[in-house]
Amino acid sequence: MEVQIFGVKKSADTRKALRFFAERRVKTHFVDFDERTIALGELRRFVQKFGLDALIDREGKAFAESGLKYSTLSEQRWLERLMNEPWLLRMPLVRQIGANGLSVGVAESDWKAWVAK
């Protein structure tokens, strides 16, 4: 089993996901948003499963500072914004490689089910 984790190293939740899989000796591919952004196709995969609202971290500091609280953007504009400013996303985004497993945020119950297979 392999997973791909999208996030930033300074995010406690991202570090928690990295630690969870490392402790279980699961091979991880980490995409650090400080170095590289998420691809549009990857982002759409998460939007299809969870919806756009589930991906946006409305409680985070980046969202508050961006002035987006009262703005209404189309889904396409949101996707563009999230690709350019990935710190607006709830982190980590985790994808199980070779399967359809996806999670947003800390989802240990989902991760445990993946590892148990």
Query: Could you tell me which residue, 37 or 14, shows the higher pLDDT?
Result: 14
Q: Cα 26 from chain centroid? A: 18
- Six-digit token pair at 12? 């406690």
User: What's the CATH number where 24 sits?
Assistant: 3.40.30.10
pLDDT for 100: 86
Q: How many domains does the chain have?
A: 1
Q: Give pLDDT tens digits for 5-27.
A: 999 999 999 999 999 999 999 99
Instruction: Show the domain range for 105.
Output: 2-116
Strand order in the sheet with 27-32: 27-32, 2-7, 93-97, 102-104
